[in-house]
Each structure stands twice: as C-alpha cells, then as structure tokens.
Amino acid sequence: MDANKKNREYISALMDGETAESDLELAMAALGGPEGEQAWDTYHHIGDVLRAEATAELSPGFAERLAARLAAEPAPSKRATGAVETAAATAGPR
C-alpha cells in the first residue's frame, strides 16, 4: 500500500474516532503536510454533505428522465486485461 493511501486511512480513522492508540502518532504525523491537510478538509466536507438535509427539491419527473438517459447510454466496453490477470490466466490452477 502506498504511503499516501495509508496516511489517508490514518486521517479517516482519526476523524471517525477509531484510531488505535498505537497509531495515534502516525495519524497526527499524516496531518503534517499538504496532502494530509487536503485529506482532512475533504473528509470534513464529505461528512458535512452526508449530515446535511436536502435543500433543493428535484423537479417532477427527474428520476424518470435520469433513468431514461442512463438506459440510452451504451454499455461500458470490457476493460482490457492487465498483466496480472493475463499471468494468472496462463499460469493455470495451482
């Protein structure tokens, strides 16, 4: 796992009050750079949005129009197989 992802996990756990005592120093250190500050701000914004009450009302028929537009979109194309999947497929069963 890359260091940035691990730091974001420490920050997320800190915000949720789920930081293990053994990880507290690491979580606080993760806040000490621009990426940590950005993650802290982002997680706060996400929490604010999740806790907020809906302020705008959708226009009548919005859900139906959205469903129709989604149904009209082409299906996603199959993703190209990556090297790991190719190697696993050619290696056969263990």
85 vs 56: CA distance, rounded Å = 45
Domain boundaries, the chain: 3-72
The encoded tokens of residue 50 equal 């999740």
9 vs 30: CA distance, rounded Å = 9
| Confidence check: pLDDT of 94 > 80 | no
pLDDT tens-place string over residues 18-40: 999 999 999 999 999 889 999 99
| Confidence check: pLDDT of 64 > 60 | yes
pTM above 0.85, yes or no: no
What pLDDT band is residue 90 in, cutting at 50, 70 and 90? low
23 vs 20: CA distance, rounded Å = 5
